[in-house]
Every structure is written in structure tokens, then in C-alpha cells.
Structure 1
Amino acid sequence: MTQEPYKTWQCRTCGYLYDEEAGDPGEGLAPGTRWADIPADWVCPLCGTPKADFDMVEI
């Protein structure tokens, strides 16, 4: 079974990028943390935008 490629998500408000492969250890998100595994009440660490207002981006 092949693992799905990691994706990158971008905040619509400030442009912050969340890369699943890198995670965001400063926010308590270990490398490899999938977007679906981040709690729904999580907000952008730079501007406070809700998780729902992020879009998946192709880098």
C-alpha cells in the first residue's frame, strides 16, 4: 500500500503555509502530521484564521 503524497495548505488571509511533511513543531504539530489530523478548532499561528479558511496548494 503506497502512502498518499504529503500536501501543503495555505492560509487565505496571510499566506502562511502548512506543509504536512514538515509539520510545525513550534505549534506542536510533528513532521508528518496530516491536515485531517489537525483539530478543527486549530487556527493559523500567524493571523488566527480558522483551519476552515485554508486551501490546499500545489507547490
Structure 2
Amino acid sequence: MKNYKCPKCSYIYKPERGDWMSGVEKGTPFEALPDDWKCPTCGEPKDFFEEVE
């Protein structure tokens, strides 16, 4: 699964970790996050995240 980075604060969403603060379970791919999901660090919308290698 691919990781995605917030361009504003550099938070990296890692599917193997999920986002416990938002109730996202471990193993949830970025594409499966709700459309209204936001960066847990700075609040940037999901649409602005960039794929990272």
C-alpha cells in the first residue's frame, strides 16, 4: 500500500498504521479514507495529499 504526504505540514499517512485519532483502522488504504478526512496534524483536506515512494 502507498503512503501519502501532506504538503502543508509533512504528515505522512501510512496505511499500516491507519489514523487512530480519526477512527481509521490499521490497514486502511488512502483511497478508502472518507472524502471528508483531513490531516490529523494541520487539517489539510485529503485532496491535497501527494503520493510518496
Q: Which residue of 1 aligns with 2:9?
A: 14
Q: Which runs of 4+ in 1 moved over 3 A?
A: none
Q: Which residue of 1 aligns with 2:50?
A: 55
Higher Rg: 1
Residue pair 1:7, 1:21 contacting (<8 A) in 2 also: no
- 3-state SS, counterpart of residue 39 of structure 2: coil
Q: Give deviations 1:6-30, integer Å, cap 9, x for gaps.
A: 1110001000010012212232111
Q: Return 5+ residue gaps in structure 1 as ranges.
A: 1-5
Q: How many residues align?
A: 53
C-alpha RMSD of the superposition = 0.9
TM-score w.r.t. length of structure 2: 0.89
Q: Counterpart amino acid of 1:37?
A: A
Q: Return 5+ residue gaps in structure 2 as ranges.
A: none
Q: Which residue of 2 aligns with 1:40?
A: 35
Q: d(CA) in 1 for partners of 2:50 and 2:18?
A: 16
